[in-house]
Structure 1
Amino acid sequence: MAESGRLDAGTAELASPEDTLELGRRLGTELRAGDVVVLSGPLGAGKTLLTKGIAEAMDVEGPITSPTFVLARLHRPRREQAPALVHVDVYRLLDHAAADLLAELDSLDLDTDLDDAVVVVEWGEGLAERLSDRHLDVRLERLTDSETRAAVWHWSTP
């Protein structure tokens, strides 16, 4: 993984799926309860794979799969006092620009307070920002005619 920048902002060239997982692990070690991560990029860019790496670093339960059809999945922590991971995919809400993401998540009865969890939102640009003024934006792209991905990330603050 070729990388430049610190974990609060940076870029990386991800030549393999393992590189994407490793970036997720590195980002995941820095995340704390109340953090929101907004993942963007086209289909197949590696958003769910990056989330798997974040989940590994956070040591949460369950397989990490795309929650496209259920909107969100709660992954409970294996360690006491550690935050849960709420993995959200708002792809099916993209046609509804006025969607109230907080109300949608609340209606799922996730049995956790979002302030006590790390929330990772796939396809969340434009919606997830409503969850928190401060969030980690991660953009993944697939390089042309290549299996290599590029990642750019930074914290957005009000």
Structure 2
Amino acid sequence: MSVVERLKAADPEAMHEFGVALGGVLAAGDLVILTGPLGAGKTTLTRGIGEGLGVRGPVQSPTFVIARTHPSLVGGAPLVHVDAYRLADATEVEDLDLDFEGAVVVAEWGAGLVDARESWIEVVIDRPVGGAGSDDSDSDSDTDTDTDDSEEFAEAPIEPRTITVTGHGPRWQNGVLA
């Protein structure tokens, strides 16, 4: 069973606030798969999730370290932030020995690499590319910085992102943000 919800994020602040709201409903054992082009706002969203969970920051892109763990400051689940962009297949994810049961795992570029669980959330962020006035110079790049994509979000003309949230499995049968 899958429940699909769609919303718009007009700017990085709206993406961050969506992350805070999402972080407020997540718990240990939850998996969030993020998909979207470079500069779409995946790390901005994850930073908001971290704030919603009350974890130690700063939450930055784990591009070069593959995964970062952010312990909870409020006695809740830690956040494990994974960037699966440079991983070849699911066996490389397994080699990371992630704590899927005891943490909230957010995997950027994780579609098809991180095994789906009984319940999980998929977030697809679409941003306009190639349109009049848009700068999609980073859309073909295979290099990301270890800072965050909020800077890329801010560098592109401010155009709303369309966010599609799909809750899979029994945990999310009534919707993710319900």
Q: Give the TM-score taking structure 2 as reference length.
A: 0.74
For residue 125 of structure 1, what is the aligned residue in structure 2? 111
The one-letter amino acid of 1:36's match is L
Q: Is the 8 A contact 1:34 1:115 kept in 2?
A: yes
Q: Which runs of 4+ in 1 moved over 2 A?
A: 97-100, 143-147
Counterparts of 2:92 and 2:117, CA distance in 1: 13
For residue 101 of structure 1, what is the aligned residue in structure 2? 93
Q: Is the 8 A contact 2:122 2:166 kept in 1?
A: yes
Counterparts of 1:84 and 1:98, CA distance in 2: 22
User: Would you tell me which structure has more strand in proportion to its own residues?
Assistant: 1
SS in structure 2 opposite 1:115? coil
For residue 5 of structure 1, what is the aligned residue in structure 2? none
The one-letter amino acid of 2:5's match is G
Instruction: Count how many residue pairs are aligned between Structure 1 and Structure 2.
Output: 141
115, 134, 142: which one pairs with 2:101?
Answer: 115
Alignment of 1:12-27 (within 5 A): 12-27=7-22
The one-letter amino acid of 2:9's match is L
Q: Give the TM-score taking structure 1 as reference length.
A: 0.82
RMSD: 1.8
The answer for unaligned runs of 5 or more in structure 2 is 135-156, 171-178
Partner deviation per Cα, 1:71-92 (whole Å, 9 max, x = no partner) = 1000000012x10000000011
For residue 153 of structure 1, what is the aligned residue in structure 2? 165
Identity %: 45
66, 77, 81: which one pairs with 1:83?
Answer: 77
Inter-CA distance 29–9: structure 2 relative to 1 (3 Å threshold):
farther
140, 143, 152: which one pairs with 2:125?
Answer: 140
